[in-house]
Structure 1
Amino acid sequence: GTNEKTLIEIIANRSNKQRQAIRESYKQAFGRDLMKDIKSEIGGNFCDLAIALMEPSALFDAKCLYGAIKGVGTTETTLVEILASRTNQQIKEIREVYKKEYKHELEKDITGDTSGDFRKLLVSLNNGARDGSPPNEEHAKIDAESLYKAGEKKMGTDEATFNRILCTRSFGQLREIFRQYKKISKKDIIKAIESEFSGDIEMALKMVVRIAECPPSFFAKRLHDSMKGAGTKDDALIRLVVTRSEVDMVEIKERFQAMYKSSLEKFIKGDTSGDYEKLLLAVIS
């Protein structure tokens, strides 16, 4: 029989790296696969969350991307959420793990399932080629000017310029570019994107901007969206809690409180139950 309380304590209070070590020592001690044992003992969302936490991070991201591409209808926002918020190194690892797991390139699956400017943006993000140098005001002015010329200032929009700048500049540099843009244009970059683009590419560019501006605010909103209204989007809730738990969860909880005048804990308690709820709360604590 499973002791759920012990399982929650073991899984929740460890880093992903430590969980990998636990899997290894479990195999050595019992000659069995911990993941298989978890799956045979528990079910539902509690099981999905436990398994997600036990997966190596890059593999979990790869599986989420695969599900977003190959599931019923492509889940566009999930593709952008993952590819736009990971570091160059993480994206490199995701691509490697994806190829190992699914026997084909992530890029090929992305291009096979999307089209137009949205496809180009995803391919750029999937290259994981963000510049790592510190923010530079002069360069930011030049880029802001380029964005202005590519969008508001001309008839028809030059998508390639938006793509290039939003996918290859660091978040710190993008924040500086957006500041400079507002000086030149008198409207902020989100408003500019809304007037110049539509459909998936508009959604994706806005997501990249929001992530660059403040990842914790972006993820607080994503968490809120996964729980508001009727029915919880559990796959999203699990993905967000698992992937941010070792990154910026403290800041996300602060932003959540400020944005929704209620704690993330309170939302989770109102929306989930049982061991699933307990494990979620333990992971974000």
Structure 2
Amino acid sequence: MFGGEYVQGTIFPAPNFNPVMDAQMLGGALQGFECDKDMLIDILTQRSNAQRQMIAEAYQSMYGRNLVGDLKEQLSSHFKDVMVGLMYPPPLYDAHELWHAMKGAGTDENCLIEILASRTSGEIFQLREAYCLQYSSNLQEDIYSETSGHFRDTLMNLVQGTREEGYENPAMAAQDAMVLWEACQQRTGEHKTLLQMILCNKSYPQLWLVFQEFQTISGQDLVDAINDCYDGYFQELIVAIVRCVQDKASYFAYKLYNAIHDFGFHNKTVIRILIARSEIDLLTIRKRYKERYGKSLFHDIRNFASGHYKKALLALCAGDMEDY
């Protein structure tokens, strides 16, 4: 995050952690006459992902069964999606979401955009490996076969994970800004290619400089310029990349707000963002959400979700309680 702000998640490693005891309690919750969903929430939303992996190992040793398999068998609907999603290591969770975005009925372009526009090169490398191991399939090949045009070209560039890290060149920033400005004026295929190459390969600090130069040259914010010049999934992807460079927490706050209010509570998006960002920057996302939309994320989830599903989402959003 630029400006030196400290970003923070909502979930931390539990103190005095005992994976054997947690596994035993989960076993009791899952094997009883009626599944104790409150117990599942209390344990799985209050442990870090690394701790959950240790619980899963202890559970396997204790019961001879797979914890994820038992969760899938005992739970249903969106509550199951949350509890099972929490059990995947982060790269595998991203891989799982990308796989299902492409292998279901139709392609969920919004999922591809959200994940690939926001992950670091290191995260993309890890999710690509996880995708290959889990599904015996090549992520690049699957994206190539399921998408098209400049949207596909940009996704293919992002999934290579070749973004520069930490590199800044002020002299080059002015040149790149001029290329972006021309791309917004000319809109040819060649200009689209130049646009996505800059946005997919330059470091975040370098792009920060480029965006400032673009503002000076054009008198316009780059997001506004792109929205004026392009449309479709290519435009949405390019804008997502720019938003993530400008302020990643604000980007996710924007995605959550749209998922909650514009799509009749789009559960997949809400679940994916809360799980994926819970140990990274969800507390910061919550802060941005309230700053931008006036009501807290906690308030909106409480109003739109229900039952144990709502309780699980609220537990993921926890952290401090000041803006509830």
TM-score range, shorter chain: over 0.9
Pick one of 38, 42, 63 that aligns with 1:5.
Answer: 38
Pick one of 155, 163, 176 that aligns with 1:122.
Answer: 155
Partner of 1:94: 127
Question: SS state of the match for residue 264, structure 2?
Answer: coil
Matched, 1:237 2:246: no
Partner of 1:156: 188
* Cα distance change on mapping 1:120 and 1:15 into 2, 3 Å: same
Partner of 1:213: 246
Task: Render the CA deviation track for 1:24-65: whole Å, top value 9, x for unaligned.
Answer: 111112211111222222222111100001111111111111
**Paired AA for residue 215 in structure 1:** K
Q: Normalising by structure 2, what TM-score?
A: 0.84
Task: Render the CA deviation track for 1:187-210: whole Å, top value 9, x for unaligned.
Answer: 221232233322221121111111
Identity %: 36
Task: Render the CA deviation track for 1:89-128: whole Å, top value 9, x for unaligned.
Answer: 1111111111122222111111101111111000001011
Partner of 2:92: 59
**Paired AA for residue 256 in structure 2:** L
**Matches of 1:20 and 1:138, distance apart in 2:** 47
**Matches of 1:16 and 1:156, distance apart in 2:** 45
Runs of 4+, deviation exceeding 4 Å? none
**1:155 Cα offset (Å):** 7.0
**Paired AA for residue 33 in structure 1:** N
**1:170 Cα offset (Å):** 2.0
**Matches of 1:119 and 1:73, distance apart in 2:** 15
- Cα RMSD (Å): 1.6
**Paired AA for residue 178 in structure 1:** F
Partner of 1:34: 67
Pick one of 218, 223, 245 that aligns with 2:256.
Answer: 223
Instruction: Choose between structure 1 and 2 for higher RCO, CA contacts under 8 A separated by at least 6 residues.
Output: 2
Q: Which runs of 5+ in 2 are unaligned?
A: 1-31, 319-324
**1:142 Cα offset (Å):** 2.2
Task: Render the CA deviation track for 1:133-172: whole Å, top value 9, x for unaligned.
Answer: 24442232221122223432x4736111111110011223
**Paired AA for residue 232 in structure 2:** G
Q: Which runs of 5+ in 1 are unaligned?
A: none
**Matches of 1:252 and 1:235, distance apart in 2:** 18
**Paired AA for residue 59 in structure 2:** Y
**Paired AA for residue 156 in structure 1:** T
**Matches of 2:304 and 2:173, distance apart in 1:** 43
Partner of 1:262: 295
Moved more, 189-198 or 3-12: 189-198
Matched, 1:72 2:75: no
**1:221 Cα offset (Å):** 1.1
Q: 5 Å matches for 1:98-113?
A: 98-113=131-146
**Paired AA for residue 118 in structure 1:** F
**Matches of 1:223 and 1:196, distance apart in 2:** 25
Q: 5 Å matches for 1:262-281?
A: 262-281=295-314
